[in-house]
């Protein structure tokens, strides 16, 4: 699969956008830590025109807040069947599975990993996932793995330097 055909990037949250640690206070409030470089990459790839979706098995107010900050195109939480949601999104966007990049880290991501045109996993993903993806990141989940994959896709699809110049010249509100 060529990264040049990617039109949609789909992300898991825990272990991909975060380091996988769950911090839950005695009041039940959940805290997550997101990497700003991943956020900047998401902003840049959306500026370029590639859609971004999050499909996660958990529900978290912090994910909702982060998704709004980054203007994520599609957010689905509390999802057991990620494949079903993926089919909904590609139908809505009128694209093919080959146009999808998925980044996941654990066994619940395997069904989607096997469907898409390009798949990646953070360095610290479980072994069975690492064996199943097209690309294993140099970085761990929550530590720049998403940005690494986005940069690879953009490097194949665009003149990266020109893209960055255009992004900065738009003087848009930059969200990391």
Write out the binding residues for Mg(2+). Answer: 12, 105
121-127 long-range contacts (CB < 8 A, ≥24 apart) are 121/145, 122/15, 122/16, 124/15, 124/20, 125/15
CB of 92 within 8 A of CB of 110? Answer: no
Q: Which position has the token pair 């096997």? A: 114
Binding site membership for substrate: which residues? Answer: 14
For 72-109, the DSSP string reads: -SEEE-S-S-HHHHHHHHHHHHT--GGGEEEE--SGGG
CB of 148 within 8 A of CB of 129? Answer: no
Residue 124 CA to residue 105 CA, distance in Å, equals 8
Q: Which position has the token pair 């893209």? A: 163
Binding site membership: which residues? Answer: 12, 14, 105
């Amino acid at each position: 699969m060529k990264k040049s055909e990617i039109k949609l990037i789909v992300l898991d949250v825990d272990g991909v956008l975060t380091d996988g640690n769950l911090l839950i206070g005695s009041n039940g409030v959940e805290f997550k830590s997101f990497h700003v470089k991943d956020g900047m990459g998401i902003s840049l790839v959306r500026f370029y025109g590639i859609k971004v979706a999050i499909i996660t098995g958990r529900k978290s107010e912090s994910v909702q807040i982060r998704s709004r900050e980054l203007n994520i195109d599609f957010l689905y939480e509390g999802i057991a069947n990620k494949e079903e949601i993926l089919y909904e999104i590609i139908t809505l966007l009128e694209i093919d599975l080959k146009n999808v990049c998925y980044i996941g880290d654990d066994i619940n991501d395997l069904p989607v990993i096997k469907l898409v045109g390009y798949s990646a996993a953070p360095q610290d993903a479980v072994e069975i996932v690492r064996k199943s993806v097209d690309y294993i990141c140099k970085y761990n989940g929550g530590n720049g793995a998403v940005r690494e994959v986005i940069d690879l896709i953009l490097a194949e699809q665009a003149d990266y330097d020109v893209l960055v110049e255009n992004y900065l010249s738009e003087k848009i509100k930059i969200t990391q």
